[in-house]
Structure 1
Amino acid sequence: MSMHRPIRWLLLAVVLPVLLSLAGCNAVLLSPAGDLAVRQRDLIIISTGLMLLIIVPVIVLTLVFAWRYRAANADAHYNPDWDHSTVLELLIWSAPLLIIIALGAITWVSTHKLDPYQPLTRLDESRPLPPGTQPLTVEVVAMDWKWLFVYPEQGIATVNELAAPVDRPIRFKITSTTMMNSFFIPALAGQVYAMPGMETRLHAVVNRPGVYEGFSANYSGAGFSHMRFRFHGLSDDDFGRWVQTVRAAGAPLSRATYTQLAQPSEREPVRRYGSVDANLFDAIVNRCVQAGQVCQKDLMARDAQRAAGLGAAVCTASNTQAEPLFGTGAAGAGEVLR
C-alpha cells in the first residue's frame, strides 16, 4: 500500500494538468463565431507570440546560467573582471526594442481596423460585404440587473434574450440606465462600455448558427453576477419566425412598463414585448422617459443658444463701444449678461 500511494499521486500530478488543459479547448475567445472576434483572437495570438520571444529566452537563459555556474561545477570559467560586451549589449537591447516596435505597429493598425464604431466591410476573411446590405439595428440598455434589447425596425423588445441572423451585420446602439456597465458577447466581438446619458456603438456579425453567452463585464452592484443573457445566431428564416413569435406572445413595452422594468431586480427571466413605445431608446439616452422630464439634448441645445446669444452680445459690445468689454462696474456687466 505504501508504494501505491506515491504512484497514485504521481499519476494525479501528470493527469490533472492534462485534463485542465483539455478543458480549455472550448474557450470561446479562441473559437469565436464572428469575424470581429476572430480578428481579435488573431491579434491576441500574435501579440502573445511576440512577447514570448522575449520571455522564453530570458527564462531559459536564467535556468542555463544557474545550472552552468552553480557552485558544484568546477569547469565553469569564473571571470570577475568582465564587465562589458558590445555584441551582448546589442542583442539585449535591440531584440526587445524591435519586438516592442512590432507590437506597437500591430496594435496601432488593429485599433483602427477593429474600431467598434466603424461599419463592417466584410462578412469574414473570404467574403466582402455585399453592396446594399443593411445592418440589423439593436438598441441595448444595461439595467439593474438585466439587459433590454429593442429592435426598432421590427418593433419588438426582449429582456435577457438576443437574436440575430447569421451573416448579417449588426449595429448595436448601447446605453445604460443608472451606472456604467459593459456589454460583452465573447463569441461575437469585444466588450463595449454602456454609460448613462451616452450612446456607444458596436458593429459586429455572427458567422455560424448557435447559442452564445453574453454578460456584463463591468461590476455594477449586487445583481452583477447574474446579469447574463443568451445570444442566438439564427438563419434568416429562423430569425423571421423568432420575430413573429415575440410579436405574438409579447405585451406592449410602454414608457410606464419600462419605468417598472427599470427598478432593480436580480435573476430576471426572459421577457418579450410585441411592440415598443416610439423613441423609447432616445428618451432613455436623454434621461426623459417619464412625463415632465426635460431631455438632456434639449437642455444642451438651450445652453448652446444662451452661449451663442452671450457671444453675440459680447461681439456687439466690443465692436460698438470704446469702453471695456463688459462695460464699467457691476451695472455694465449686468447689461451685457442680460
Structure 2
Amino acid sequence: MNKHTLLKSGKFSLMVAITALLLSGCDSRYLVLNPQGPVAHEEYRLIVLSAILCAVVVIPVLAILVYIIYRYRDKPGNTAPYTPDWDDSKTLEIIWWGIPVIIIAILGFYTAKSTYALVKPPVTNAKPITIQVTSLDWKWLFQYPDQKIATVNYVEIPAGVPVQFELTSDAPMNSFWVPELGGQEYTMPGMAMRLWLQADKPGTYFGSGANFTGKGFAHMRFQVIAKPQSEFEAWAKQIKETAPALTKDGYQKLTQKGLADKMSFSSYPPGLFNEVIDKNGGKYMRHHMKNSHGSETETDHSKMDHSEMDHSEMDHSEMDHSEMDHSEMDMSHTDAHMSK
C-alpha cells in the first residue's frame, strides 16, 4: 500500500468518525454530561476538573513531542546539539515528578470533599422517600415501603425530593445506574447497599444495569419518571386501587430468567426485600440495623440516618456467604466488625 493510498484511507476513517460523532448527537444526549440532580452535578464538576487537569499534562506533552521530532530529526545540516553523555537533569526531574504529584493532590482533595458532601442529601424541607430495588434475571423490581406498592422495569419518584435507594440482588451481581442523576452502585446477593439520588425537575431519565449478567443483560433497562409531589401521590394512589397484587408465586415467576415488560402491583408480600437478603446469606448484614429494642427498623424510613447506611467502607474480604454457618456465627464479633 503506497503513501497516497494510506493518506486517502486515513482521511476516509477520520470523516467516518466525525460523521458518527455528529449523528450520535441527533438522537441522544451524552447522559453523563447532562446532570439533572445534586449528585450528578457534583460528579459532573469532578469530571470537568479531571479533564482540565489531564489537559494541563497532555497538551504540553504532545506539543513537546512534536517539537522534539521536528527539532532533532535526522536531516543534513541540522544544528541540534548532540550530547550522547547527557543522562540527568534535576530541573526536568522536578518538573515531571512534581506536576503529577500536584495534580493527584488536587484531584484527591476535591474527590474526598465531594464524597463526604454526598454522604447525606442536601438540607431540604422535603421528606425523603425510600425505594427498595432488587435486580433479577433480567429485570428490575422496585418496592415502595411507604406506599406499599411495587413496579417492574420503571420507577416513579417525586421531583425535588431525595430518594434513598436500598439495593440488593436475587440474581448475579449487577449495578444500578441512572447517569443523569448520579453514579452507579452495585446490587449484590445477601447485601443491602445504599444510594441516594434526586431529580431537580420533572422528566424521564434513562436507567440501566451496568454490570454484565448474561444473555439478557442488554435489555436490563428501566425508566426513572420524576413528577411533581402531587402527581406522584396521585400515581401511587391509582396503582394501589387498580393494579393486581404481587404474590409469592408471582415473585418466583419474576425470578426466573427472562425479559419482562413494565408491570405495577398494588401490594407485595410483607418483608419481601429482607427475605431476599436473608435467602442469599445476608441475615447477619442487617443485624446492625436493628434498634435498641431488637426489632427491625423497616417502618419509618424518613427517620433513618443515611450516614449510618453507607456500606461502602465495609470490609467484605472475609465474608464467604456460601461457606458461612450462621448458627455458629459470633454476633458480638459481627457488631464490632460492622461498627468500623
Choose which of 170, 178, 181 in structure 2 pairs with 1:185. Answer: 178
Deviation of 1:14 after TM superposition, in Å, equals 5.6
Say whether residues 1:203 and 2:193 are aligned partners: no
Residues 15-54 of structure 1, C-alpha deviations (whole Å, 9 max, x = no match): 9626615745820111121110111111111112212222
Q: Distance in 2 between matches of 1:306 and 1:225?
A: 40
Q: 1:100 aligns with which of 72, 97, 104?
A: 104
**1:90 shift after superposition:** 2.2
Counterpart in 2 of 1:79? 83
Which of 223, 229, 233 lines up with 2:226 in the alignment? 233
Instruction: Look up the match of 1:129.
Output: 124
TM-score relative to the length of structure 2: 0.75
Residues 17 and 239 (structure 1), Cα distance of their counterparts in 2 relative to 1, 3 Å cut: same
Structure 1 portions without partners, runs of 5+: 1-5, 123-127, 289-293, 309-338
Determine if the alignment matches structure 1 residue 215 to structure 2 residue 208: yes
Cα distance per residue 1:251-288 (max 9 Å; x no partner): 1112222112211112x100110112211111111118
Q: 1:65 to 1:29 in 2, by over 3 A?
A: same
For 1:303, the equivalent position in structure 2 comes to: 328
For residue 26 of structure 1, give the secondary structure of its aligned residue in structure 2.
coil
Q: Identify the residue that residue 243 of structure 1 maps to in structure 2.
A: 236
Larger RCO: 1 or 2 (CA < 8 Å, sep 6+): 2
1:256 corresponds in structure 2 to 249
Secondary structure (helix, strand or coil) at the match of 2:143 reads strand
Provide the rounded CA distance (Å) in 1 between the counterparts of 2:82 and 2:246: 81
Identity among equivalent positions (%) equals 33
Distance 1:59 1:21, change over 3 A: farther
1:213/1:229 contact within 8 Å kept: yes
The number of aligned residues is 285
Q: Point out 4+ residue stretches in structure 1 off by more than 6 angstroms.
A: 9-12, 298-301, 305-308
Paired position in structure 1 for 2:268: 276
CA-based RMSD: 2.9
Cα 1:89/1:225, change in 2 over 3 Å: same
Judged with a 3 Å threshold, the aligned counterparts in structure 2 of structure 1 residues 15 and 192 are, in CA distance, closer, same or farther, namely closer
Instruction: Indicate how the Cα distance of structure 1 residues 306 and 147 shifts in structure 2: closer, same or farther if over 3 A, else same.
Output: closer
1:138 aligns with 2:163: no
Distance 1:295 1:217 in 2: 23
- Comparing 210-219 with 232-241, which one deviates more in the overlay? 232-241
Q: Is the 8 A contact 1:249 1:272 kept in 2?
A: no
Moved more, 19-28 or 46-55: 19-28
Counterpart-to-counterpart distance in 2, 1:276 and 1:94: 59
Contact 2:191 2:282 in 1 (8 A): no
Q: Unpaired segments of 5 or more residues in structure 2?
A: 1-6, 288-323, 334-340
Normalising by structure 1, what TM-score?
0.76
